[in-house]
A = this chain, B = another copy of it.
Amino acid sequence: MKGARKTFSSGRKGLPVVLERRPYNAETPMDTIATSDITANRSFYVRNHFSIPKVDPSRWRLKVSGDVERPLRLSLPSIMRMRTKTVVTTMECAGNGRSKMNPRPPGTPWLTGALGTASWTGVPLKQVLAKAGVKDSAVEVLFRGADSGFIGGRITRFERSLPVDEAMDENVTLAFRMNGRPLPMSHGYPVRLNVPGWYGMASVKWLDEVSLISEPFEGRFQSSSYVYSKRDGTPSIPVTRMRVKSLITTPSEEAKVKCRSPVSVSGLAWSGYGKVERVEVKFSDSRWRRAKLVGQDLGRFCWRRWLCRWIPDKPGRYTISSRAVDDTGGSQPEAEVFDELGYGYNTVTRISVRAV
């Protein structure tokens, strides 16, 4: 696997690590994650299900349809003229970390870099829904991307839904800017949804239709994929918010560190359920120690950097473990967790280093 990665990676700093060419899927490079709290647009991981659709922005309209009083067709300029909101958001692919599961599940073999943080500027969806007038019969909001392809011999679009009350959250936006720039093609130009706190699949790209529906949506990307499934007949559970998780960025996996010298151990922690309250770190079989939360607090939808100092007292191999706790009390499970489809991996984070 490491060899395959090397082949695909351009080797140039800050460029994504390409996992698949068709559809294009690429991770944020680890050195970017280790050093930047905001991920530059060109470094930000890309998760596509199909090829990138061609959208002509002058002809593009966002259709608002279904159980509404006034169906709408909004041009890009008319959306950009509305009241906007910027939300700095950490986004993680639900399959991030899948490569660490044993046995490895099917799907794009994400390591740890299907993860990034950007500022997304757009119009709160609730503003648009208020304009359209949501009927009482509506139970969910269905989001349709312009991207589609063959699955099982049928043309399938990328479609996802949210319950009406989740969709009405002030922070759910129709985003058209990323880090102050127009949304890049690979991130859903001209408009994508941004659902802070949820795994990335909820933030539908190349959005062209928002439809109010009176029955829960059961489409491909909500029933066959993006579900925690036991495959034993018990009902599957939809993948929604990002589970609390941490990442060790420094030292890197398999790094050599100096004995009897202080080593800076640092990383990031985030959760889609609540604010990260603390991060604990363990060195091989030591007791859990509390790390320091450092850097600016970019708000409740963002990762937070943490740091602790460690002095390895004798040469040899060490396992560094980290676990984050959010303010809903959630934490990372100690035992390796397997999921049939490889979602929601958040087992206690562990890397191996060698002290010399």
Contact = CB atoms under 8 A, between A and B. Distances in A.
A274 interface: no
B86 A14 contact: no
Interface string A19-61: 0000000000000100111111111000000000000000000
A226 to B, nearest CB: 27
A36 B121 contact: yes
Contacts of A38: 86, 119, 121, 179-180
- Specify which of A36, A42, A294 lies most central, judged by the most chain B CB atoms within 10 Å of its CB: A36
A296 B36 contact: no
Contact of A37 (B37, B40, B41, B86): B86
Given A296-B299, A299-B296, A86 B180 contact: no
A294 B83 contact: yes
A295 interface: yes
A175 to B, nearest CB: 12
B294 A80 contact: no
Given A35-B121, A179-B180, A86 B40 contact: no
Contacts of A85: 294-296, 305
Nearest to A87: B296
Contacts of A307: 83
A266 interface: yes
A84 interface: yes
B180 A39 contact: yes
A177 B298 CA distance: 16
A264 interface: yes
Interface in A186-228: none
Interface in A288-310: 294-299, 305, 307
Interface string A85-108: 111100000000000000000000
A37 B119 contact: yes
A181 interface: yes
Contacts of A42: 181
A65 to B, nearest CB: 25
A260 to B, nearest CB: 19
Interface string A218-247: 000000000000000000000000000000
Contacts of A266: 83
The 4 tightest CB contacts between A and B, nearest first, are A37-B86, A40-B180, A38-B180, A40-B181
Interface of A: 14, 32, 35-43, 80, 83-88, 118-119, 121, 171, 177, 179-182, 264, 266, 294-299, 305, 307
